[in-house]
């Protein structure tokens, strides 16, 4: 493996590009790591970044680590939606640290800017991330280095502090000026880039976290496509994904698990639907029929026939033909989750965890007193 001087956390945003350029401008060789999960990352952009920016960049899949982090709940909590920004940054820095020796690198760089993001880029948060990721001797934040404590990397002379920046706050004026100085071929649009920070996506992900026995990355990929419906009839929960267009149908087919139920209309154009079969929780026949009827109601031509239609069901190795009436209102009462309901559940869980923590501390103090 080629020897590098630095490993960079590279999102593809302007800040991460500038952080890399500042370090390369001091003659250092940088290996960029682009982290990918169901919630963030665009690996299809890698070739574009290599060609347009001349970057040495690889994708790092942290999907399973992120699924585990969410399932176990982030130590430092969620942001305004379902975004675990502090824990996510710690995770990525730990992943980068684990690769430093293999690349022969001597430091890690990131594009964080002091005060730019309210949760993860406050001064106290930056210090907490540094400590909990265990990168005190490795991490440099080139864009805000001059308004943060001097890092060991700067003190040892690997990077000249006076050639780094002192940016802070939410404005982009200094970043744009630096981009002009470096003659960047394009300026990425400002965007958060994380689906966990969006309410619509939280409505997709939160039920998976609450209902799947063992949430894994592939289930969140499945949740990213089509309409997401849940039913708690009988021995549910039951999870049904219904495509909205051909692209959705293809993504749902790709992301379905081998044992999932796949529903397709036989005689009309329409959606493909996936019924997620959680381990040891196969759907009973009446639920499969109900889901087929509900899925068919999203095919206008099937509904217009005003009679029963054929739906193909693929369930593992078995293939069946079902005949159902397209119905939007069915006994299983399929429904989409609302952000208001999810926010209430998030707050209730946060209160419960706080109370549990208070009880644990009280118990510890009482024991210590004895």
In a domain, 363, yes or no: no
| Same-domain check for residues 320 and 260 | yes
Residue 89: CATH number of its domain:
3.40.50.620
How many Cβ atoms are within 10 Å of 362's Cβ, its own excluded? 10
| Same-domain check for residues 98 and 164 | yes
pLDDT score for 362: 58
pLDDT score for 356: 80
Q: How far apart are CA 342 and CA 77, in angstroms?
A: 15
Mark the ranges of the chain whose per-residue pLDDT is less than 50. Answer: 364, 370
pLDDT score for 364: 45
| Same-domain check for residues 281 and 175 | no
Domain end point (choices 174, 195, 216) = 195
- 258 burial via Cβ count (<10 Å: 0-12, 13-18, 19+): exposed
Domain end point (choices 324, 345, 365) = 324
pLDDT score for 123: 94
In a domain, 338, yes or no: no
Domain count across the chain: 2
Q: How far apart are CA 233 and CA 216, in angstroms?
A: 24
**Six-digit token string for 104:** 């022969």
| Same-domain check for residues 153 and 246 | no
Find out whether the peptide bond into 330 is cis, omega within 30 degrees of 0.
no
In a domain, 204, yes or no: no
| Same-domain check for residues 149 and 36 | yes
| Same-domain check for residues 319 and 187 | no
Per-residue pLDDT tens for 107-141? Answer: 999 999 999 988 899 999 999 999 999 999 999 99
pLDDT score for 235: 87
Q: Widest CA span of the chain, in angstroms? A: 78
The pTM of the full predicted model, rounded to 2 decimals, is 0.92
Q: Which domain holds residue 77?
A: 6-195
pLDDT score for 358: 67
pLDDT score for 336: 96
Q: ∠ at Cα 263 (262, 267), nearest 5°?
A: 140
In a domain, 233, yes or no: yes
Bridge partner list, 323: 310
pLDDT score for 168: 94
| Same-domain check for residues 146 and 55 | yes
pLDDT score for 280: 72
| Same-domain check for residues 50 and 186 | yes
In a domain, 202, yes or no: no
| Same-domain check for residues 56 and 157 | yes
Q: How far apart are CA 291 and CA 305, in angstroms?
A: 19
In a domain, 217, yes or no: no
| Same-domain check for residues 161 and 240 | no
In a domain, 317, yes or no: yes
| Same-domain check for residues 233 and 175 | no
In a domain, 261, yes or no: yes
| Same-domain check for residues 145 and 260 | no
């Amino acid at each position: 493996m080629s020897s590098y001087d630095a490993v960079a956390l590279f999102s593809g945003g302007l800040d991460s590009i500038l952080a890399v350029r500042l370090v390369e401008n001091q003659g250092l060789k940088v290996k960029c790591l682009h982290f990918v999960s169901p919630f963030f990352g665009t690996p299809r952009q890698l070739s574009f970044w290599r060609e347009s920016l001349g970057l040495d960049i690889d994708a790092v899949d942290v999907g399973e680590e992120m699924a585990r982090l969410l399932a176990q709940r982030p130590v430092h909590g969620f942001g305004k939606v379902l975004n675990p920004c502090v824990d996510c940054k710690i995770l990525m820095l730990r992943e980068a640290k684990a690769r430093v020796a293999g690349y022969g690198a001597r430091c890690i760089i990131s594009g964080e800017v002091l005060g730019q993001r309210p949760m993860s880029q406050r001064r106290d948060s930056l210090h907490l991330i540094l400590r909990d990721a265990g990168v005190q001797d490795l991490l440099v934040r080139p864009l805000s280095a001059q308004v943060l404590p001097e890092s060991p990397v700067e003190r040892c002379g690997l990077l000249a502090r006076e050639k780094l920046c002192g940016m802070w706050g939410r404005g982009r004026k200094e970043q744009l000026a630096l981009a002009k100085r470096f003659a960047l071929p394009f300026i990425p649009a400002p965007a958060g880039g994380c689906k966990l920070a969006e309410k619509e996506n939280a409505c997709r992900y939160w039920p998976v976290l609450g209902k799947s026995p063992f949430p894994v990355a592939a289930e969140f990929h499945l949740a990213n496509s089509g309409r997401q419906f849940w039913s708690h009839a009988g021995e549910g929960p039951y999870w049904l994904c219904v495509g909205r267009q051909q692209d959705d149908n293809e993504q749902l087919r790709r992301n379905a698990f081998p044992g999932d139920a796949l529903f397709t209309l036989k005689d009309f154009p329409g959606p493909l639907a996936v019924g997620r079969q959680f381990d040891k929780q196969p759907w009973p026949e009446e639920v499969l029929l109900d889901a087929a009827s509900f899925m068919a109601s999203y095919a206008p031509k099937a509904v217009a026939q005003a009679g029963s239609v054929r739906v193909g069901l693929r369930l593992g190795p078995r293939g069946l033909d079902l005949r159902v009436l397209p119905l939007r209102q069915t006994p299983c009462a399929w429904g989409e989750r609302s952000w208001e309901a999810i926010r209430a559940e998030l707050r209730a869980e946060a209160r419960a965890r706080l109370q549990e923590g208070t009880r644990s501390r009280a118990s510890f103090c009482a024991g210590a007193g004895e």
